[in-house]
Amino acid sequence: MLVTGIKSKPVYAPLQADARGRYHLMLGFGVGAGPLERVIAEMQSSASQGLRNVRVLYVPDLGSAPEGERFRALSDVQAFADTPALLVQFRLILEQSLMGTRLYVAGPESFIGLAMKIALEFNLNKDEIRAEECGTLARRVYCIHCRATTEQVRTNIVRCVGCDRWLLVRDHYSRRLAAYMGVMVDAEAPGELPPLKEVFL
């Protein structure tokens, strides 16, 4: 149960423009503006025509106000009040999108996970999606016992919002659920909890 270094934990990399794409759809949350700005600059300075069709959806986050404001001011950036609103528009865009589209996502892992869930429905696969994790590492945790999802988890163990059990936050990740698995941490010795630590900051 305490195994680390699990291969199902998603791996992210700094965003780079994919010159093989024809249409570029970008999603950002908060400090995700940084990587997206960088990629847009890379595309605009490139000679490749294919890098011209860019569309950006963005959720400014109060904590990252300065760069968020500057980013919003760029043309072609559509801003949203929150993630759910962005995801609604994202789905509408995908319904009209064509093969040759590339998706770029920058923000906290939970934001990336929710965007990927929708991308999965349209058969976009890892060759068409690039994601850079930035901002908080806080996790969405799926309780395997009562199946409730606890949001914004920063600690190694967490009380499940559904069944109140203390859950160990594992590194085993489901793209379908966009969440990490939470398993009762004291099933073998009730009451014996490991020290609470903030690890996903």
Q: Which is nearer to another protein, 17 or 134 (CB)?
A: 17
Establish if 11 lies at the interface with another protein (CB under 8 A). Answer: no
Are 116 and 129 spatial neighbours (Cβ–Cβ below 8 Å)? yes
Greatest Cα-to-Cα distance within the chain, rounded to the nearest angstrom: 63
Establish if 145 lies at the interface with another protein (CB under 8 A). Answer: yes
Q: Which residue has the tokens 């698995």?
A: 181
In the bound complex, what is the minimum distance in angstroms from residue 175's beta carbon to another protein? Answer: 7
Closest CA to 90 of 51, 59, 63, 133: 59
Q: Tell whether the torsion through CA atoms of 21, 25, 29 and 35 is positive or negative.
A: positive
Establish if 155 lies at the interface with another protein (CB under 8 A). Answer: no
Candidates 8, 46, 78, 89: give the one binding another protein (CB under 8 A): 8
Residues 160-199 that bind another protein (CB under 8 A): 165, 170-177, 181, 183-184, 187-190
Contacts of 183 (CB under 8 A, 6+ apart): 1, 144, 145, 167, 168, 170
Establish if 13 lies at the interface with another protein (CB under 8 A). Answer: no
User: Could you tell me the CA-to-CA distances from 77 to 29, 60, 106, 150 in Å, in that order?
Assistant: 12, 11, 14, 31
Residues 61-100 that bind another protein (CB under 8 A): 94, 97-100
Residues 97-136 that bind another protein (CB under 8 A): 97-102, 122-125, 127-128
Establish if 52 lies at the interface with another protein (CB under 8 A). Answer: no
Site of interaction with another protein (CB under 8 A): 1-3, 5-9, 20-23, 50, 94, 97-102, 122-125, 127-128, 142, 144-145, 147, 165, 170-177, 181, 183-184, 187-190
